[in-house]
Amino acid sequence: MTPSKRQPSFNAARTLDFTHFSPMNSLPTTPGPIDHPPLSGGGPFTNALNATIAFVGGGNMASAILGGLLKNGFQAHNLHVIEPLSAPREQLRQWGVHAWEAPEAFLSHADLVIWAVKPQVFKTAALSVSAWTHHALHLSVAAGITMQSLSEWLQAPRLVRAMPNTPALVGLGQTGLFANSNVSASDKSLIEAVLQSTGQWLWLKDETLLDAVTAISGSGPAYVFYFLEAMCQAGEHMGLSSEEAKQLAIGTLIGAGQLASQSAEPPSVLRERVTSKGGTTQAALDVMNQAGLGEKFKEAMWAANHRAKALGAEFGS
């Protein structure tokens, strides 16, 4: 089933507490669903398209997943979103999905509950919902909230943690996944069907590796935007217009990323092939190396890794 109207946009300046479930990865607007081939409904989870799915939080990450579900053939009448703010709740209803102001008994029918709230409100939200959802499969996209905390708050055996990133909004995301031992192969098939429209995913064998995923891909888009911003500013200082600098910088990042993804060579070799001794690229890289940029970049990602662990300790059980 395809939504008849554009996906709703959301206000990134929302005041977030439990009475207003806080969305993950909130952005000013949410693009429409991405064109992907419909799911066949085959595989281990043969009833995936008929699954009843409840979202706790209706922000942009939830909206990206929801739009993909509708595009890929999931039934709108089986999709529920708890969103306490009236304007986005009404926009969600335009798709034909159920949008609720607060948790209610409908949750007792959910096959899957997707948690799209921020870590600092997760516990309060979970305790208000858990009485209805012991039976369900749970998918959390909250950074740092551990399996131990999820198990204690939700009192549910089947738990999956995910760390997506914002390119999921355009179908080019990266998501790291970790499941506890109670999650079956068919449960994983449902999770994969739900995430199909958001991009790529990988299953991890160790929960602690989600902190590395957070540092590399979860926070990674901000690093790219930071570098992109510097490239654009440099281009303007050199005399290019803002539009020209933006086109060149974005196009270069996209092109280099595509080249790296399609090449069997490691990034170091690709870098060397662009770098002629005594040339312009070497001059630029010399400045970066003299500033210790590579090491500082690694330090920055370790800081993100440590912060992900700290979030679990700060907001966990």
Choose among 76, 152, 159, 155: nearest CA to 114.
159
183-211 pLDDT tens trace: 999 999 999 999 998 999 999 999 999 99
Domain finish residue from 162, 197, 213: 213
Amino acid letter at 65? I
Q: What is the CATH number of the domain that holds 144?
A: 3.40.50.720
* Same structural domain, 200 and 55: yes
- pLDDT for 169 equals 87
- Does residue 214 carry a pLDDT above 80? yes
Mark which of 173, 196, 213 sits at the end of a domain.
Answer: 213
Residues 6+ apart with CB under 8 A from 223: 297, 300, 301
Dump the DSSP string for 139-195. Answer: EE--TT--HHHHHHHH--S-EEEEE--GGGGGT-EEEEEEE-TT--HHHHHHHHHHH
Residue 317 pLDDT class (50, 70, 90 cuts): low
Residues 206 and 244 in one domain: no
Does 3 map to a domain? no
User: Does some domain include residue 38?
Assistant: no
Residue with the bigger pLDDT between 271 and 101: it is: 271
261 shares a domain with 195: no
Are 146 and 180 within 8 A, CB to CB?
no
**Lowest model confidence (mean pLDDT) among 22-31, 76-85, 112-121, 259-268:** 22-31
On whether both 184 and 290 belong to a single domain, the answer is no
Q: What pLDDT is recorded for position 63?
A: 86
Same domain, 63 and 208: yes
User: Which of 213, 245, 262 delimits the end of a domain?
Assistant: 213
Range of the structural domain that residue 170 is part of: 48-213
The average pLDDT across 262-273 equals 97
How much is the pLDDT for 33?
A: 34
The average pLDDT across 163-184 equals: 95
Locate 264 and state its tokens.
């069997």
Is the pLDDT at 170 greater than 80, yes or no?
A: yes
